Amino acid sequence: MAETGSEQFSHGQLPGSLELAFVGDAVYHLYVRSRLIKSSAKVNQLNHSASDAVNAHAQSESLSRIEGMLTDAEALIVRSAKNTRQTGPKHQTHRDYCRATAFEALLGYLYLTKQTERLERLLSLAAPQGVSGQ
């Protein structure tokens, strides 16, 4: 498979940054919840822990943990998504919101291009300690 995996899309190109982020958001939610469920916490605490990990500030920090490890193609996805015009955040800083979108776009890109091992590796490094299992 080509690095971009774009041959799997009918128009021959990857979706845009916000569409990649849309998928990446779901990927990250599932990753976080799958890790948290391994604890013996009650559902209320699981929801609270998931909310702590899946917000713009936490995702911006997650991106910071892996930014130096990105390939050129991954860095391009992140840069493009960071610069995408978006509606302003309500309860987050604009910087965190843009970086969170970039993080989600990266996850969406890796997921849609079926780079599963790379996705799992970056998720394990990016997620907060209580979520990543480290």
Cβ neighbours of residue 51 under 8 Å, at least 6 residues apart? none
Give ∠ CA 24-110-35 in degrees, rounded to 5. 60
Res 12: pLDDT: 62
Residues classed as catalytic = 25
Res 3: pLDDT: 45
At residue 7, does pLDDT exceed 50? no
- Number of Cβ within 10 Å of residue 34's Cβ equals 10
- How many H-runs (helices) and E-runs (strands) does the chain carry? 7, 0
In a 3-state reduction of DSSP, which class is residue 34?
Answer: helix
What's the CATH fold of domain 56-132?
Ribonuclease iii, N-terminal Endonuclease Domain; Chain A (1.10.1520)
Which bin fits 55, alpha (ψ -120 to 50), beta or left (φ > 0)? beta
pTM summary value:
0.85
- In angstroms, how far is CA 115 from the centroid of its own chain? 14
